[in-house]
Structure 1
Amino acid sequence: MKSGRKSHSVAKAFELINVIAEQGPEGVGLQELAARAGVVVSTAHRYVTSLIELGIVERDTTGTGTYRLGIGLVTLAGRYLEEDVLRKAAHPYLIKLAEISGETAHLGVPLGGRLVYIDKVESAKSVRLVSHIGSQAPMHCTSMGKAMLSLASPDEQRKFVAGPLERHTPKTLVGADLLAELELVRSQGFALDDEANEEGVRCIGVPLVNKAGIAVGAISISAPANRFSVEDCRRLAPSAIEYAAEISGRIGYAGSPFTVPAG
């Protein structure tokens, strides 16, 4: 049953994309595209122009003028597949982290300069943190965010730190202090969020890298600070690093997760 809330424009755009996809690499001409989608040529042209600007569709400029799927759609699909592979590789280790710590384990990935939670295993304790898969958090004051930033090149780190960064608590580090912390994180292999993002919450995070040595995610253990000390974080760090190395190996990385080319 239709909800009645579906956007006509969005539905029509996907209909055009489906028509183009059905034609394969040869593509489809504008008139045929319009006919198959049940719209006038001018409407089809307006839609495909927007889709071309977004990289979802591309036009053959060698003479045929046909339309076919663009690299933007492939990129989006690749991002989804990469995250799906990462979730499958990491989930058994999130269970292990939750078991050895008694606390909540998370998996996060970077998206547009922020951290997105894509998987979690809850603590068995009655009092635990409230977090949601799909929610976002800052990179600069979370353990997973800092773990991933630590593997960026020095130029990328300086560019990130130069941007506007909000102090979420009195313990949030920015500027030169944040750069110094990222250097420490890189050398020790793990990051701490010692109530830097949210008062009363402490976390340890370790980066995950793909076969190119690029940080594509991170795992963490998070808990209320009154029962999860900095010493607890450091005690769990070797296991978290070991699990991160194994996850990274499962997604194709063959070396140490913390040895990447400096830019």
Structure 2
Amino acid sequence: MENEPNARGVSTSVVHAFAILDQVAAAGAEGITLAKLAGGASKARSTIHRYVTTLLHLGVLRRDDGGRLHLGVRLLTLATELLDEDNLRSAATPVLRDLGASTGETVHLGVPTGGRIVYIEKVESSHSVRLVSAIGHQVAMHCTSMGKAVLAQLPPDELDAALSQPRPAQTVHTLTERDELLADLAAIRASGISMDEEENELGVCCVGAAILDSRLRPVAAISVSGPSVRMTTERREEIAPLVLDAVRLIEQALGHRGQNAT
């Protein structure tokens, strides 16, 4: 039966429900129609409708006035509870606030998930001109300072698998060629610092570094981001040691030896 778990104990119904949530999330602010979720097949539409009705009832989906589906507030409640209990976020938040205060720029904490970086904490810039981003936002690995910082610390086999995925150009500055990106990652690995020089968004530059666990594996990353007019090469070089100090403090708070331990 459809609702019975398979031989490995995995419920196909739960898998299908999360697949729907992934599609709705990917649709972004515009939302998605039931017909598009089902791909136009009448039988699939009947099945999808059953799942969607349940997800709407549970509050993890919502339907706007035009009938398009969006993620529901129940997910935000669950995510907030998770983040409140998360050791990484608890350890990092005071350090991120100090980093934001010392740089005046926007500071992010992100974790690698599904080949992308997901923001789980943010400290706003003190400037009137600041970045538009939000907790839960996902960004690419190959063209962001946090993503490249994580990639640089991966074992060779995992890095090779990661680089086998598509690397679309987000801007004219995005490093899409494998050899060029590998050279950049080698430099990041040597210094511990990753730079995003308008590679993900024109007019925005970032300085990032990975947070390593006790096995020296990248579990998260932080970044300081701002408009390129403020984040000049000289300013980024001034910020880089502050980012490394922040990473060291977070790793110490987590009980990790990390890359900056003495």
TM-score greater than 0.5 by the shorter chain: yes
Aligned to 1:142: 144
Deviates most, 131-140 or 203-212? 203-212
Give yes or no for the alignment of 1:235 onto 2:238: yes
1:135-214 mapped onto 2 (5 Å cutoff): 135-174=137-176, 175-214=178-217
Contact 1:158–1:179 under 8 Å retained in 2: no
Paired residue total? 194
What is the CA distance between 1:119 and its match in structure 2? 0.3
Aligned to 2:133: 131
Aligned to 1:250: 253
Query: Which runs of 5 or more residues in structure 2 are unaligned?
Result: 15-81
Contact 2:212–2:258 under 8 Å retained in 1: no
Distance 1:143 1:110 in 2: 12
Distance 2:12 2:218 in 1: 25
Distance 1:171 1:215 in 2: 25
DSSP-derived class of the 2:107 partner: strand
- Report the CA distance shift for 1:238/1:214 in structure 2 as closer, same or farther (over 3 A): same
Identity of aligned residues (%): 43
DSSP-derived class of the 1:53 partner: coil
What is the CA distance between 1:101 and its match in structure 2? 0.8
Aligned to 2:9: 52
Q: Partner letter of residue 228 of structure 1?
A: M
Aligned to 1:99: 101
What is the CA distance between 1:117 and its match in structure 2? 0.4
Q: Partner letter of residue 213 of structure 1?
A: L
What is the CA distance between 1:158 and its match in structure 2? 2.4
Contact 1:186–1:258 under 8 Å retained in 2: no
Deviations 1:131-162 (A, max 9, x none): 01001000100000001111001222222223
Q: Partner letter of residue 209 of structure 1?
A: L
Contact 1:170–1:196 under 8 Å retained in 2: yes
- Report the CA distance shift for 1:81/1:209 in structure 2 as closer, same or farther (over 3 A): farther
- Report the CA distance shift for 1:100/1:194 in structure 2 as closer, same or farther (over 3 A): same
Contact 1:146–1:182 under 8 Å retained in 2: yes
Distance 1:153 1:216 in 2: 13
DSSP-derived class of the 1:52 partner: coil
DSSP-derived class of the 1:149 partner: helix
Contact 2:5–2:12 under 8 Å retained in 1: no
1:63-82 mapped onto 2 (5 Å cutoff): none
Deviations 1:158-189 (A, max 9, x none): 22223211011111112110011000001011
Distance 1:237 1:56 in 2: 47
What is the CA distance between 1:46 and its match in structure 2? 4.8
TM-score by length of 2: 0.68
TM-score by length of 1: 0.68
Q: Partner letter of residue 52 of structure 1?
A: G
CA root-mean-square deviation: 2.6
- Report the CA distance shift for 1:81/1:52 in structure 2 as closer, same or farther (over 3 A): farther
- Report the CA distance shift for 1:83/1:138 in structure 2 as closer, same or farther (over 3 A): farther
DSSP-derived class of the 1:217 partner: strand
Contact 2:2–2:12 under 8 Å retained in 1: no
What is the CA distance between 1:213 and its match in structure 2? 1.6
Deviations 1:202-247 (A, max 9, x none): 0000110122221110111000111111221111111110110111
- Report the CA distance shift for 1:201/1:185 in structure 2 as closer, same or farther (over 3 A): same
Aligned to 1:68: none
Contact 2:3–2:12 under 8 Å retained in 1: no
Q: Partner letter of residue 191 of structure 2?
A: Q
Aligned to 2:48: none
